[in-house]
Amino acid sequence: MVELGQIQRPLAEDFSGKRKLYCVANVYHIEEAGKDYHDLVAKYWDEVAAQIERIETAGKAQKIFCEIIYQQGEEALSVLGKINERLTDIVRKKLGEGGTLIPLEDKDIIGPYTDWGNCLRVVFTKEVFTRVLGFYKEYAEKRLEHMLSTIDRNLSASEAGLLFMKDEDRSRIQFPKDIEVFLITPPSYDDIMRWFRERITQKPAEGNRTG
C-alpha cells in the first residue's frame, strides 16, 4: 500500500503494467453540522481533486468505483448527486476524460445491509440487539465480498481504478496482491477526523452541564 506523498514522477514507471487502485475516503456533508465542518469538507474535496491529478502520473484512472451506487449511467450520477455533489463533480470529470463508472453495490445486498444498520439504532433489549447485529454483520461481509469481486473483475491488467469508499470499510478489504493500492489522504482529512473526535468528547461534558 502506497501513500500519495511517496510517489514522485521519476517513480511512475515503477508501476507501469500493474493494476492500480487509487483510494479516496468518501466524506459526506452533514446538513445539521456548522459552517466549520462544511468548510472543511469543501477544502477536502478540493484537495482530493488536486491529488488525483498528481497520482495519475502512475497511470490514468480508467475505472471509477463508488460506494452506495448500484444504478447505471445517468441514473447513477443522479443518485450520487443527491448524496455527494462534490464527489459527483469529480466523477463527471473522469467520465469526460474517458473513464467508466462501475456500480460497486448489489441492490439485493445494500438494501438489507442498510435496513439492519438502521434497526441497530432503535433496538433497546440486549437479546434483540444481538440478533440484529448478527444479521447486519452477515450483510456487511456479503457487501465487502461483492465489492472486492467487482473491483477484481473489472480492473484489467495495467489499468488504474479510482475507488470512493468510507475509509473504515475500505480498510477491511484484502485486495489481490497484483493490485497496487494508493491512499489519497489530503491534510484536511485529518482535520475532519479531529472535528468528529472533538464533538464526541464534548457530548458527555455538555450532558453534565445540563444535568
Cα Dmax for the chain: 62
**CB 151 within 8 Å of CB 61:** no
pLDDT at 30 over 90: no
Distance CA 98, CA 95 (A): 5
**CB 26 within 8 Å of CB 63:** no
Q: Place 94 in a pLDDT band, splitting at 50, 70 and 90.
A: very high
134's grid cell: 448478527
Distance CA 68, CA 79 (A): 9
98's grid cell: 474517458
Q: Place 4 in a pLDDT band, splitting at 50, 70 and 90.
A: low
pLDDT of residue 175: 96
Q: Place 92 in a pLDDT band, splitting at 50, 70 and 90.
A: very high
pLDDT of residue 209: 40
pLDDT at 12 over 50: yes
pLDDT at 5 over 50: no
Task: Please name the residue ranges forming H helices in 31-186.
Answer: 35-55, 73-83, 85-96, 107-120, 126-154, 167-170
pLDDT of residue 207: 44
pLDDT of residue 32: 82
pLDDT at 42 over 50: yes
Contacts of residue 27, defined as CB under 8 A and 6 or more positions apart, other chains included, come to: 41, 44, 45, 189, 192
* AA identity, residue 168: E
If you average pLDDT over residues 30-50, what whole number do you get? 91
Give SS3 for 177: coil
Per-residue pLDDT tens digits for 157-199:
989 999 999 999 999 999 999 999 999 999 999 999 999 888 7
pLDDT of residue 29: 84
Q: In terms of pLDDT, which residue wins out, 31 or 16?
A: 31
Per-residue pLDDT tens digits for 105-161:
999 999 999 999 999 999 999 999 999 999 999 999 999 999 999 999 999 998 999
Nearest to 165 by CA among 184, 192, 180: 184
9 φ, ψ (degrees, to nearest 5): -55, -45
Q: Place 208 in a pLDDT band, splitting at 50, 70 and 90.
A: very low
195's grid cell: 472535528
Nearest to 169 by CA among 87, 101, 99, 104: 104
Distance CA 147, CA 141 (A): 10
pLDDT at 9 over 60: no
